[in-house]
Amino acid sequence: MNIHKIIAIRQLTEHTFILQMERRNMPFLTGQFITIRRPGTIDQREYTVYSGEKDDVMEVLVREVNYGKVTPRLKKLKPGDQVEVDGPFGFFRFQPNMFPVQDFLFVATGTGISPFHSFVRTYPNLNYRLVHGVRYGNECYDHEHFEKERITLCTTGDQNGHFNGRVTDYLASQEINPETQCFLCGNSEMIQQAFDILSGKGVPVQNIYTEVYF
């Protein structure tokens, strides 16, 4: 475990915030995750790195869980406080030059947008489309950091997105180039359904990469 000082906390919604901390030259590949806990405690949580590989700071996107053992403590942090960080870990890595066809589809639910924020921040000239599913439109976490013509917000609880319904409903209505490299991050139900939809549209299994958040 390494000690990292908190630089800032940026509130996005009532229950969701960006935790910004010293990077301390910690190396990571975009798509990897770290574990965070308050010093003196044993409970920790895994968070995909939200910031880019070249950023001087390290950020994670946190959604507070009521009665949780970790997130309420993280929400109380202030600049200057310290956290214990371990990692990085994980294989949901992204190196676009490894793919012969530069056509990427990113599909996320909720805070599953984290790795894709890191992907785009690390590789700003990507040819990508991002489909993000949330309940309410105000949960469009930092969508202004993406090119607006490349992002589709799907909402199920209000009409404030681009598409009213689940991300899987949206995917089912779209034409997908079978050569597209597809990355899925979010809840297991979405990933299973999206996997079936994409493979049913002719996307080879080897072109679909998944990371289950919950």
- Does 203 lie in the same domain as 121? yes
- Does 207 lie in the same domain as 120? yes
Biggest distance spanned by C-alpha atoms of the chain: 51
Instruction: Give me the chain's average pLDDT, please.
Output: 94
- Does 133 lie in the same domain as 57? no
Rounded to an integer, the average pLDDT of 112-139 is: 96
The CATH code of the domain that includes 66 is 2.40.30.10
d(CA 1, CA 26): 12
- Does 180 lie in the same domain as 123? yes
- Does 29 lie in the same domain as 102? no
User: How confident is residue 100, by pLDDT bands cut at 50, 70 and 90?
Assistant: confident
How many domains does the structure of the chain reveal? Answer: 2
Q: Which residue has the tokens 């990113």?
A: 106
- Does 163 lie in the same domain as 132? yes
Last residue of a domain, one of 69, 89, 109: 89
Supply the pLDDT for residue 124: 92
Q: Is the pLDDT of residue 214 over 90?
A: no
Which domain covers residue 83, as residue numbers?
Answer: 2-89
For the entire predicted model, the pTM comes to 0.94
C-alpha separations of 47 from 72, 124, 191 in Å: 15, 22, 18
Last residue of a domain, one of 54, 89, 124: 89
- Does 172 lie in the same domain as 154? yes
d(CA 82, CA 185): 29
Percent over 70 (pLDDT), the chain: 100
- Does 100 lie in the same domain as 70? no
Q: Is the pLDDT of residue 93 over 90?
A: no
Supply the pLDDT for residue 192: 96
Q: How does pLDDT run across 138-191, given as a tens digit for each residue? A: 999 999 999 999 999 999 999 999 999 999 999 999 999 999 999 999 999 999
User: How confident is residue 57, by pLDDT bands cut at 50, 70 and 90?
Assistant: very high
